[in-house]
Amino acid sequence: MNMFIKWISFVGLFCLVNASQDNHRKQLVNSLKKYVETHHKGDYIVAFKYFDKNKDNHIDRLELNLALKQIGVGNMFTRTRWVNGIMNLMDIKPEDDVLSFDELIVASFDQAIHTNKI
Ligand SMILES: [Ca+2]
Protein backbone atom coordinates (compact mmCIF):
# COMPACT_ATOMS: atom_id res chain seq x y z
CA MET A 1 0.00 0.00 0.00
CA ASN A 2 1.50 3.35 -0.92
CA MET A 3 1.74 6.26 1.51
CA PHE A 4 -1.17 8.18 -0.03
CA ILE A 5 -3.63 5.30 0.40
CA LYS A 6 -2.35 4.72 3.93
CA TRP A 7 -2.90 8.41 4.70
CA ILE A 8 -6.43 8.43 3.20
CA SER A 9 -7.34 5.29 5.22
CA PHE A 10 -6.01 6.91 8.38
CA VAL A 11 -8.01 10.14 7.79
CA GLY A 12 -11.13 8.12 6.96
CA LEU A 13 -10.80 6.09 10.13
CA PHE A 14 -10.15 9.23 12.15
CA CYS A 15 -13.35 10.87 10.77
CA LEU A 16 -15.35 7.73 11.47
CA VAL A 17 -14.18 7.62 15.08
CA ASN A 18 -14.89 11.33 15.54
CA ALA A 19 -18.36 11.07 13.98
CA SER A 20 -19.19 8.19 16.27
CA GLN A 21 -17.89 10.15 19.30
CA ASP A 22 -20.04 13.12 18.28
CA ASN A 23 -23.12 10.92 17.98
CA HIS A 24 -22.44 9.37 21.37
CA ARG A 25 -21.94 12.80 22.94
CA LYS A 26 -25.15 14.04 21.35
CA GLN A 27 -27.04 10.98 22.61
CA LEU A 28 -25.60 11.44 26.11
CA VAL A 29 -26.43 15.16 26.27
CA ASN A 30 -29.96 14.67 24.93
CA SER A 31 -30.75 11.76 27.28
CA LEU A 32 -29.28 13.62 30.26
CA LYS A 33 -31.25 16.76 29.41
CA LYS A 34 -34.52 14.81 29.08
CA TYR A 35 -33.90 12.92 32.33
CA VAL A 36 -33.00 16.02 34.36
CA GLU A 37 -35.99 17.96 32.99
CA THR A 38 -38.37 15.08 33.80
CA HIS A 39 -36.99 13.98 37.18
CA HIS A 40 -35.22 17.02 38.65
CA LYS A 41 -37.15 19.97 37.17
CA GLY A 42 -34.17 20.82 34.95
CA ASP A 43 -31.83 21.33 37.93
CA TYR A 44 -28.46 19.78 37.01
CA ILE A 45 -26.95 20.41 40.44
CA VAL A 46 -29.74 18.44 42.12
CA ALA A 47 -29.35 15.69 39.50
CA PHE A 48 -25.57 15.56 40.02
CA LYS A 49 -26.05 15.29 43.79
CA TYR A 50 -28.55 12.50 43.19
CA PHE A 51 -26.11 10.59 40.95
CA ASP A 52 -23.33 11.10 43.54
CA LYS A 53 -24.48 8.23 45.78
CA ASN A 54 -21.59 8.36 48.31
CA LYS A 55 -21.78 12.18 48.50
CA ASP A 56 -18.10 12.87 47.78
CA ASN A 57 -18.94 15.51 45.13
CA HIS A 58 -17.61 13.28 42.34
CA ILE A 59 -19.10 10.64 40.09
CA ASP A 60 -17.04 7.45 40.07
CA ARG A 61 -17.30 4.62 37.52
CA LEU A 62 -19.97 2.74 39.49
CA GLU A 63 -22.07 5.89 40.00
CA LEU A 64 -21.66 6.77 36.31
CA ASN A 65 -22.82 3.29 35.32
CA LEU A 66 -25.94 3.65 37.50
CA ALA A 67 -26.56 7.19 36.20
CA LEU A 68 -26.35 6.00 32.58
CA LYS A 69 -28.79 3.19 33.38
CA GLN A 70 -31.21 5.70 34.89
CA ILE A 71 -31.01 8.18 32.03
CA GLY A 72 -31.38 5.34 29.54
CA VAL A 73 -27.98 5.37 27.85
CA GLY A 74 -26.52 2.04 26.73
CA ASN A 75 -27.60 -1.42 27.86
CA MET A 76 -26.15 -4.17 30.06
CA PHE A 77 -23.75 -5.16 27.25
CA THR A 78 -22.57 -1.69 26.20
CA ARG A 79 -22.69 0.35 29.40
CA THR A 80 -19.14 -0.46 30.53
CA ARG A 81 -17.89 0.78 27.15
CA TRP A 82 -19.92 3.98 27.66
CA VAL A 83 -18.36 4.45 31.11
CA ASN A 84 -14.82 3.93 29.69
CA GLY A 85 -15.53 6.29 26.77
CA ILE A 86 -16.94 9.02 29.01
CA MET A 87 -14.04 8.71 31.48
CA ASN A 88 -11.46 8.86 28.65
CA LEU A 89 -13.13 11.92 27.18
CA MET A 90 -14.17 13.88 30.26
CA ASP A 91 -11.92 12.98 33.15
CA ILE A 92 -9.42 15.70 32.29
CA LYS A 93 -8.81 18.24 35.06
CA PRO A 94 -7.79 16.64 37.36
CA GLU A 95 -7.36 13.17 35.80
CA ASP A 96 -8.41 11.18 38.87
CA ASP A 97 -10.82 8.48 37.57
CA VAL A 98 -13.84 10.36 38.96
CA LEU A 99 -15.89 13.18 37.41
CA SER A 100 -16.60 16.55 38.99
CA PHE A 101 -19.72 18.58 38.17
CA ASP A 102 -17.66 20.71 35.75
CA GLU A 103 -16.15 17.72 33.99
CA LEU A 104 -19.45 15.87 33.58
CA ILE A 105 -22.19 18.47 33.15
CA VAL A 106 -20.55 21.74 32.13
CA ALA A 107 -18.05 20.11 29.75
CA SER A 108 -20.61 17.93 27.96
CA PHE A 109 -22.91 20.86 27.30
CA ASP A 110 -20.05 23.23 26.40
CA GLN A 111 -18.65 20.80 23.84
CA ALA A 112 -22.06 20.02 22.40
CA ILE A 113 -23.03 23.70 22.18
CA HIS A 114 -19.71 24.81 20.69
CA THR A 115 -19.90 22.20 17.97
CA ASN A 116 -23.62 22.88 17.35
CA LYS A 117 -24.46 19.29 18.07
CA ILE A 118 -27.64 19.86 20.13
CA1 LIG B 1 -19.34 9.90 44.35
100 CA to middle of ligand 1, Å?
9
Mean pLDDT of 44-51: 93
User: In this predicted structure, what is the pLDDT of residue 65?
Assistant: 96
99 CA to middle of ligand 1, Å?
8
53 CA to middle of ligand 1, Å?
6
C-alpha–C-alpha distance, residues 31 and 73, integer Å: 7
Mean pLDDT of 18-29: 77
Q: Which residue has the higher pLDDT, 110 or 69?
A: 69
User: In this predicted structure, what is the pLDDT of residue 94?
Assistant: 86
User: In this predicted structure, what is the pLDDT of residue 21?
Assistant: 74
Query: Omega of the bond prior to 94 within 30 degrees of 0, cis?
Result: yes
Are 60 and 67 in contact by the 8 Å Cβ rule? The answer is: no
User: In this predicted structure, what is the pLDDT of residue 103?
Assistant: 84
C-alpha–C-alpha distance, residues 17 and 22, integer Å: 9
Q: Which residue has the higher pLDDT, 84 or 105?
A: 84
71 CA to middle of ligand 1, Å?
17
User: In this predicted structure, what is the pLDDT of residue 100?
Assistant: 92
Range of the domain at 46: 3-114
Domain count, the chain: 1
C-alpha closest to that of 64 among 77, 80, 46, 88: 80
C-alpha–C-alpha distance, residues 27 and 36, integer Å: 14
User: In this predicted structure, what is the pLDDT of residue 118?
Assistant: 46
CATH of the domain at 56: 1.10.238.10
16 CA to middle of ligand 1, Å?
33
Confidence of residue 35 (pLDDT cuts 50, 70, 90): very high
Give SS3 for 51.
helix
User: In this predicted structure, what is the pLDDT of residue 29?
Assistant: 85
Dihedrals phi, psi of 99, to nearest 5 degrees: -110, 135
C-alpha–C-alpha distance, residues 59 and 69, integer Å: 14
57 CA to middle of ligand 1, Å?
6
pLDDT at 51 over 90: yes
Query: Quick one: angle between helices 44-51 and 3-39, nearest 10?
Result: 100
